[in-house]
Structure 1
Amino acid sequence: MKIVLQILCFFSVLVASGQTNDSINTPKIWSLEDCINYAIANNITVKDADLVKNIAEVDYDKTKSSRLPNLFGSASESFSNGNTVDPITSDYVTDQIYSTNLGISSAMTLYQGSQISNQIKQSKLLVDQNSFLVEEAKNDIIISILENYLQLLYSKEGITIAENNLKASETEVARAKARLEAGSIALNDYTEAQSQAATNKYAVITAKNDYQQYIIALKQLLELTPEDTLEVEVIDDNIQLINLEMDKMNIYHKALNILPEMSASDLDIAINEKELDVAKGAYLPTLSLVGSVGSGYTSISNIDFTRQLDINFNQSIGLSLSVPIFNRNITKSAVKTAELNIERSQIQKQSTEKEIYKKVETAYQNALSAQEQIIAAEASQEAALQSYNLAKIKYELGELSTTDLIINQNTYTAAQQNYIQAKYLNILYHQLLQFYQGNDIKL
């Protein structure tokens, strides 16, 4: 009985191990949502934008701390010989002097033309702007993932079409060979069939190579290693056509309100306006509160070190006022530069608005074009299929030449390629229009 139990345990371990290996060897099927979420979390472009935002937050904390007083400690040891002034007692003596100075000093800016307040506000605006730039980087990655994902699916369907054509042409070669041996066709017809089969085989190789290139591009967006496998999920073939009543200007205005690059442009203007306030603040005086405590020791005194430190202990507090009179036009240049940067940021905002309109307009027009193309391509594909099927029947009956059969096959292949191209373009531009309206990308 013990031996039987041991055997059962051994086989159960083998079964469990086999199941584990199967689960490990089973490649993950990536949906579009999987790709988007993974890329947002791992893409280095997004990470870099996030790090820039973190740096802006550090600068913001540093700017807020500029309101606080500073604190410095100092200590010095000196030796002098001959006619000199004692650094501790300020007596004029002729002697060798060993002296020690200890002190702590502090200063706090009370007023600086509101520069500190404006710098803090500017730093906060920079943090907010970089938050929007992070969102912009994420949006760019989302669109890149969508485009590469659809290109990958398009290429995958292209492989299927090419392989089906190769199988059909190989069948035609076999039939042509049989008919050649039977003497019903000329040698030229047989070699044309062989040539078409070779062309279709080359098309399969090209389609597979294109597919691998899109795999590489998508893996790089996902920051996967070369050793990682990538298999994407096939989407539903149901095509959602674009609503012809959709107003592109409504889409454009929605995009202006939700896209982060517009918010970043607005903040860029506000940041430069604060920079102007900071620059103008340099025209005004600076008032600071200063204070210090210290003590010292001198060797010419007969009092011991500890008692001297107690006797010589001193404190001071005061106000320091600095009034700018002439700084070689540095402030004037800073003010002018800030004003020019405000104008430049306003122009850049207009450029951003134009770029967004161009994206919406392009997506809208391409979406309508793709919708019309897919309707025409579907009808063309169906007609080409019927023509090709009829040509194959005629070819088998000897009523059609190999050349005419190849022409019909190529026409059908082109119709298939046109259809899948229109299909994926329709999906792409429909999703882009949804994205510009603030809707999630879903396939």
Structure 2
Amino acid sequence: MKLISSIVSLICFGVLSSQEPSTDKQIWSLQDCIDYALENNITVKDAKLDGALAEVDYEKIRAQRLPNLFGSASQNLSNGNSIDPITSDYVSSQIASTNLGMSTSVTLFQGNQLNNQVKQGKLVLDQNSLYIQEALNNVTLSVVESYLQALYNKEAILVQENILKNSEEEEKQAKARLDAGSIAMQDYTDAQSQTANNRYNLITAKNNYNLRIVELKQLLQLNPNQTIQLVDIDENIEVLIPVLDKMEVYERALQNLPEVDAGKLNITISEKDLDIAKGGYLPTLSLTGSLGSGYTSIDYTNFVDQLDVNFNQRIGLSLSLPIFNRKQTKAQVKNAEINIDKAKLQLKTIENEVYQKVENGWQNLNSAQEQLAAAEVAQTAAEESYRLAQKRYDLGALSTADLIVSQNLYTNTQENYLQAKYLSILYYQLMEFYQGNEIKL
């Protein structure tokens, strides 16, 4: 069976290396798989690292409001006619001078740009938290889909094993009848061919199951060599589900899915960009201060005394008025306004994608439900038909070819029922997830 992976935009995951984490645990429930994947999946870890980077950037932006502090020291040697850097006297001799100092500055006002940058940084930090939640959601849905695919393939193995067992018995009967001369060679070879074909189908079913297990282990970031066993779903789970209100699911999805909130925050972040850009029209006021001292070789006072005598302090205000900066600020404001419109369009796109997911999931759920009801009837009828065909075959009233037709029909109805069953479970859990409900199997 091919479960439709396009029901959600799922993130692709990297192939495991032999050094991936492993655990001694062998029996895994769906919840075990989800919990482990949320802790160890590479995509989730990467999203968390992006969140950590956003936090670092936020702290860096906040620190822009603090004053800076620099220390300086220089040693100079000059010869000939020059001005002493300490005394400012004009001298004509060799001078050795030392300068020591500290300086600081702080921006008092910059068109309110610093405050807006801090607010924007906090919004970006919150947005990254939503991106982390989106990654967690995607991994959860991927695990649910992979887990159900594996369980489907596991049940398909049981179906093929039962069919193969029946085929082998029928082949034995055909051989006995051939030896007794009651059937032609073609009837016996038909039975042989059917047994071989069913054995092939069983091998294929086992291979499909193993592939699903590999995919699941990749999602969990488990060592490829680790053996895991899946817990079957509750046999009493309700698979015939009441019809859900599509628009109600959609409205709840808009309220619960983090990508929608992230899209809304993106608009607010763009609006802060506009406020920051407009701050470029306003003046900038800065406070500066410095401490300094120095030593010169032309003064015969000792080094320590000169540092004491030459010690100086300065404080000042600096005002910068933007008059004309080649329309740079105007262009930044215009770009910010355009980005706001783009962010609004992106939000609309996200909402449309959410609706498409809900619509596809809802349609697929209803289709799977109808298929399930039809498949259940077909399976019951085909099972009875196959049972009667086996009795007629035992009595010699039915050819091997006709028995094979009945057997294949029964096998197909079993597979159709399993497919509809697991599709119903998958799409229903998807609808529940969109509404903010917990996934339970």
1:242 deviates by 2.1
Equivalent position SS for 1:310 = helix
Q: Unaligned regions of 5+ residues in structure 2, if any?
A: 1-22
Equivalent position SS for 2:70 = strand
Q: Counterparts of 1:203-282 in structure 2 under 5 Å? A: 203-238=201-236, 239-244=238-243, 246-282=244-280
Is the CA contact 1:115–1:278 (under 8 Å) kept in the aligned structure 2?
yes
1:367 deviates by 1.2
Is the CA contact 1:27–1:231 (under 8 Å) kept in the aligned structure 2?
no
Bigger mean CA offset, 333-342 vs 191-200: 333-342
Task: Determine the C-alpha separation between the residues in 2 that align with 1:426 and 1:70.
Answer: 63
Q: Unaligned regions of 5+ residues in structure 1, if any?
A: 1-24
Q: CA separation of 1:91/1:147 partners in 2, compared to 1, >3 Å: closer, same or farther?
A: same
1:284 to 263, 282, 285: 282
Q: Percent identity?
A: 60
Normalising by structure 1, we get a TM-score of 0.93
Is the CA contact 1:81–1:94 (under 8 Å) kept in the aligned structure 2?
yes
Bigger mean CA offset, 324-333 vs 198-207: 324-333
**Could you report, residue by residue, the CA deviation over 1:229-270 in whole angstroms, capped at 9, with x for unpaired residues?**
1111001133332212x3111111111011111110000000
1:435 deviates by 0.8
Task: Determine the C-alpha separation between the residues in 2 that align with 1:365 and 1:419.
Answer: 18
Task: Determine the C-alpha separation between the residues in 1 that align with 2:215 and 2:26.
Answer: 18
- Per the alignment, residue 360 of structure 1 pairs with 358
The one-letter amino acid paired with 1:289 is L
Task: Determine the C-alpha separation between the residues in 2 that align with 1:328 and 1:35.
Answer: 59
**Could you report, residue by residue, the CA deviation over 1:253-306 in whole angstroms, capped at 9, with x for unpaired residues?**
111011111110000000011011111111211100000000000001111111
Normalising by structure 2, we get a TM-score of 0.93
Task: Determine the C-alpha separation between the residues in 1 that align with 2:227 and 2:338.
Answer: 52
Q: Counterparts of 1:35-46 in structure 2 under 5 Å? A: 35-46=33-44
Q: Counterparts of 1:30-429 in structure 2 under 5 Å? A: 30-238=28-236, 239-244=238-243, 246-429=244-427
1:27 deviates by 5.6
Equivalent position SS for 2:281 = coil
Q: Counterparts of 1:7-22 in structure 2 under 5 Å? A: none
Task: Determine the C-alpha separation between the residues in 1 that align with 2:114 and 2:182.
Answer: 96
Is the CA contact 1:63–1:120 (under 8 Å) kept in the aligned structure 2?
yes
RMSD: 1.2
1:94 deviates by 0.6
Task: Determine the C-alpha separation between the residues in 2 that align with 1:241 and 1:397.
Answer: 40
Task: Determine the C-alpha separation between the residues in 1 that align with 2:239 and 2:416.
Answer: 18
1:26 deviates by 8.5
1:87 deviates by 0.5
Equivalent position SS for 2:219 = helix
Is the CA contact 1:109–1:288 (under 8 Å) kept in the aligned structure 2?
yes
Bigger mean CA offset, 145-154 vs 222-231: 222-231
- Per the alignment, residue 20 of structure 1 pairs with none
Task: Determine the C-alpha separation between the residues in 2 that align with 1:125 and 1:157.
Answer: 48
Is the CA contact 1:114–1:278 (under 8 Å) kept in the aligned structure 2?
yes
Task: Determine the C-alpha separation between the residues in 1 that align with 2:398 and 2:29.
Answer: 46
Q: CA separation of 1:26/1:269 partners in 2, compared to 1, >3 Å: closer, same or farther?
A: closer
1:361 deviates by 1.1
- Per the alignment, residue 12 of structure 2 pairs with none
The one-letter amino acid paired with 2:354 is I
Equivalent position SS for 2:226 = coil
Task: Determine the C-alpha separation between the residues in 1 that align with 2:331 and 2:228.
Answer: 56
Is the CA contact 2:82–2:92 (under 8 Å) kept in the aligned structure 1?
yes
Task: Determine the C-alpha separation between the residues in 2 that align with 1:230 and 1:327.
Answer: 66
1:58 deviates by 1.2
